[in-house]
Chain A
Amino acid sequence: MVKQGVIHIHRSMGRVILYALLCLAFFPSLTTAAVSDPASVFSAANNFIAAGDYQKAIETLGAIPKPDPNTSGSDFVKSRIQTASLYHALKQTKKAQAACHDVLELFPDNKEARNFLIALKKEEIPFYILFFRDCTRFLPSLLKGAVLTLALTFLTMVISPLGGLFIALGRMSRFKSFAGLCWFIIWFFRGTPLLLQLFFIYYGLPALGITFSPFTAAIIGLSLNYSAYLGEIIRGGIESIGHGQMEAAKAIGMTYTQAMRRVIIPQTYKRLLPPIGNEFIALIKDTALVSTIAMVELMRSADQMFNTYFNVNVLIIAAMVYLAFTTVFTLVFERIEKKVGAYENR
Chain B
Amino acid sequence: MKTGENVILHLENITKKFGKVTAIDQVTLSVKAGERIVIIGPSGSGKSTLLRAVNILEEIDHGRIFFKGDPVGYTAIKGKQILDSPKNISRLRSKIGMVFQNFNLFPHMTVLANIMEGPVTVLKKTKNEAEKTARDMLKKVDLSDKWQVYPATLSGGQKQRVAIARALAMNPEIMLFDEPTSALDPELVGEVFNTILSLAKEGMTMIIVTHHMGFAREVADRVVFMEKGAMVAEAPPEKFFSACMENKRIADFIQNIL
Contacts and interface: CB of A to CB of B under 8 A. Distances in A.
B100 A255 contact: no
Interface of A: 242, 244-245, 247-256, 258, 262-263, 266-267, 341, 343-346
Given A247-B100, A248-B100, A343-B108, 9 more contacts: A244-B100, A245-B104, A248-B98, A262-B121, A267-B106, A267-B108, A341-B108, A343-B107, A343-B150
A343 B152 contact: yes
B152 A346 contact: yes
Contact of A255 (B57, B90, B95, B166): B90
A226 B57 CA distance: 36
Nearest to B52: A247
Contacts of A250: 57, 90, 93
A248 B106 contact: yes
Nearest to A248: B104
A346 B150 contact: yes
B102 A244 contact: yes
B100 A252 contact: no
B166 A252 contact: yes
Interface of B: 55, 57, 86-87, 90-91, 93-98, 100, 102, 104-109, 117-118, 121-123, 149-150, 152-153, 163, 166-167, 170
Given A244-B104, A248-B100, A248-B104, A255 B86 contact: yes
Contacts of A263: 106, 117
A244 B123 CA distance: 22
B102 A258 contact: no
Contacts of B57: 247, 250-251
A253 B118 contact: yes
Nearest to B57: A247
A189 B96 CA distance: 45
Contacts of A249: 106
A346 B149 CA distance: 9
A254 B123 CA distance: 10
B104 A253 contact: no
A266 B150 CA distance: 15
B86 A256 contact: yes
A253 B122 contact: yes
A249 to B, nearest CB: 8
B94 A344 contact: no
A344 B100 contact: no
Nearest to B98: A251
B152 A258 contact: no
A346 B167 CA distance: 24
Contact of A258 (B98, B122, B170): B122
Given A244-B104, A262-B121, A341-B108, A251 B153 contact: no
Contact of A251 (B55, B91, B108): B55
**Those 3 A-B pairs whose CB atoms lie nearest each other, nearest first:** A253-B94, A248-B104, A252-B118
B87 A255 contact: yes
A236 B152 CA distance: 23
B91 A253 contact: yes
A252 to B, nearest CB: 4
25 contacts: A244-B102, A248-B100, A248-B104, A250-B93, A251-B57, A252-B93, A252-B94, A252-B97, A253-B90, A253-B93, A253-B94, A253-B95, A253-B123, A253-B170, A255-B86, A262-B117, A262-B121, A266-B108, A267-B106, A267-B108, A343-B152, A344-B152, A346-B149, A346-B150, A346-B152
Contacts of A343: 107-109, 150, 152
A69 to B, nearest CB: 95
A247 B86 contact: no
Contacts of A267: 106-108
A254 B108 contact: no
A245 B150 CA distance: 15
A256 B85 CA distance: 12
B150 A254 contact: no
Contacts of B109: 343
Contacts of A253: 90-91, 93-95, 118, 122-123, 170
A204 B123 CA distance: 52
Contacts of B95: 253
B91 to A, nearest CB: 7
Which of A247, A256, A266, A267 gathers most chain B CB within 10 Å? A247
Contacts of B167: 251-252
Nearest to A346: B150
